[in-house]
Amino acid sequence: MELFMSSEVLEYDRVAQDLANRYNSVEIPQKQSFGPFYSMAVRAASHGFAVIPCGGADDPSGKRPLIKWGNFKSQPGMEVVAGWAARPAFGAANLGIITGLSGVTVVDCDTPGCLFKLYELFGETPIVVTTPSGGLHLYFRSSGERCGPFRVGDIKGDFKGHGGFVVGPPSGRILAGQQRAYRFLEGDWSLREILPPIRPGAPLGEHGARIIAFRPRSGGTHKDSPQDGQCAEIKRQRTPQRTQVERMPDQPPAGRVVDGARNQSLFAALRREALTVSDEEALVRKAVAINETYDPPLDLAEVRKVAASVWRYKSEGRLLGAGEQAIITRAETFDALRAHPGGADALMLLLRLQFSHGAEPGKRFAIAPKAMERDAMFKKWTVRRYRKAIATLKELKLIRQVHKGGKRKGDPHLYVLD
């Protein structure tokens, strides 16, 4: 198996060694056993992903789990992950991600050259992975989706949610006699906390069937939860608007870009280039130069189409650099607030609430005007001004009160975003 090593990986080697020594009293394997799970499992787990080793010398697909995980009720602890990495057979294996326990849903699509269409169907996400076969994995925050197939026109694939798992970077497999890897086209494991959900209204499930989300009862699992990786298709509830983040890749995918990966590679590269050019034609020139490195190059008309798409994102203010964030507000929400006498203050408060709580659908939160005034969250705002803004948001049904507090000390009113 090809080894994927870097200075960043070596830092996580040190962490894995420390954890293994602390919890397992075993040695991290020697360099001949280094592999994707050894090099990246601790890092992925530290960002909230439930990881397992998969693949093995007798598994050409590189996907077979080496751990029975179907009955896991929670993520493996860091000490457990370090212990697995310390075992030569596991350390040399691929990195598997249990999607449901990681709180993510992955759109797994093998149709080549369809990144733009997937963005249109399901929304954009800061974590996109290319697979050895030229397919794509788009990572989203879970809204309760389970596993199931989907097909929209010529584009088909699978949802990997509750009951599913995927193989992640830097894993690899042999295809057509060559070692090929899973690679990050966008982002990395550190962006899990800012993943958006699949956009409301997306066509989920085979032939456009909807998927209904379930939420496990506190302290347990849903009675219909799939076991041992068996996946069931259900419908998904509409989720509230969320903070969306775009992140520029550090560099285009390494290695030769071939047919099936050219569109998404060019799109990713141009998103970075667009931050430094002044007009669309300059971006097209950049695109033409990048395209000349592809084997074979894209048609010039397709290159212009990709450049125009990226420039549109920049023109609309949706193209952000690494670490930047954007709060997305619907046009009808803005219009309703603009027409309301107290709309300006209400919009300010709404943006603050979306930034703090919008990434967790259905999250209950308190709004404490006295504490906000004390901490000067908005300069010169009084308790009365905060309360008027809250009342406006309730009137316009942008927030909903789910608990009436005041029954005792420390019992605040609780709200959710609508």
Q: Are strands 155-160 and 104-109 parallel, antiparallel or unpaired?
A: antiparallel
pLDDT digits (tens, 9 = 90+) for 315-337: 877 676 555 566 667 788 888 99
Q: What does the pLDDT read at residue 260?
A: 58
Backbone torsion region of residue 152, taken as left when φ is above 0, otherwise alpha when ψ lies between -120 and 50, otherwise beta? beta
**Spatial distance between the Cα atoms of 94 and 105, rounded to a whole number of angstroms:** 20
Cα end-to-end span (Å), the chain: 49
Handedness of CA 364, 328, 122, 173 (dihedral sign): negative
Residue 129 has pLDDT above 50, yes or no: yes
Protein fold of 329-417: Arc Repressor Mutant, subunit A (1.10.10)
pLDDT digits (tens, 9 = 90+) for 74-126: 888 888 888 898 888 888 899 999 999 999 999 999 888 788 889 888 988 98
Computed over its alpha carbons, how large is the radius of gyration of the chain? 23
Residue 151 has pLDDT above 90, yes or no: no
Residue 278: burial class (beta carbons within 10 Å; 0-12, 13-18, 19+): exposed
Residue type at 183 in one-letter notation: R
pLDDT band at 19 (very low <50, low <70, confident <90, very high): very low
The answer to whether the beta carbons of residues 76 and 211 sit under 8 Å apart is no
Is the previous residue joined to 126 through a cis bond, with omega within 30 degrees of 0? no
pLDDT band at 371 (very low <50, low <70, confident <90, very high): confident
Segments of the chain assigned to CATH 1.10.10: 329-417
Reported as half-sphere exposure (CB side, CA atoms, 13 A), residue 102 has a value of 33
CA 338 from chain centre, in angstroms, equals: 32
Which residue reads 């080549």 in tokens? 112
Q: Which residues contact 160 (CB under 8 A, 6 or more apart)?
A: 99, 105, 106, 108, 147, 166, 231
What share of the chain in percent tops pLDDT 90? 24
